[in-house]
Amino acid sequence: MGRHEIDVRAHSTAPPAVVYALLTDGASWPHWSPMVTFGLEQPGDGGGEEVGAIRVFRSRWAVSRERVVELRPDRRLSYTLLSGIPVRDYRADVDLEQSDDGTTIRWHSTFDAKVPGTGWFYRRILGGFVRACAQGLADHAGALHKSASA
């Protein structure tokens, strides 16, 4: 059994500030991720999507409730899953690192399976989902940056 891990990287031609702005704006997720809708169930400690906020995303398959647990401007967004899929202790850290030509995005998640023997399945499904999110974020940020620079 044990912890399961997903580790995905993507590259964006946009600087970290542009990528971070999209990442921390839940309303932008339906434009670049598999999420269909976004709602803010509870504002964070400082209001809005700050630490402590509960964000609700709906995909074609599930409704997930996530709590923002760490923000480092232009560097990191971390969240934990409160409900939506049958896993325990899900945490994702999305780290942004400046590169010569943009931003490297690292989306790293860990979790435990609620039902023994199903971890491989959720790692596979979530791995594809996280890859789609990371690449969608990278591409969308790059396109926004390019159009703003033109």
pLDDT at 2: 77
Query: Hey, CA dihedral for 138, 42, 71, 111, is it positive or negative?
Result: negative
pLDDT at 149: 83
Element (H, E) at 17: helix 16-23
Tokens of 117: 């023997």
pLDDT at 1: 55
Per-residue pLDDT of the chain (150 residues; tens, 9 = 90+): 579 999 999 999 999 999 999 999 999 999 999 999 999 999 999 899 999 999 999 998 889 999 999 999 999 999 999 999 889 999 999 999 999 999 999 999 999 998 888 889 999 999 999 999 999 999 999 999 999 887
The secondary structure of the chain in percent helix, strand, coil, rounded to multiples of 5, reads 30, 40, 25
Taking CA atoms, 147 is separated from 21, 131, 142, in Å, by 16, 24, 9
pLDDT at 55: 98
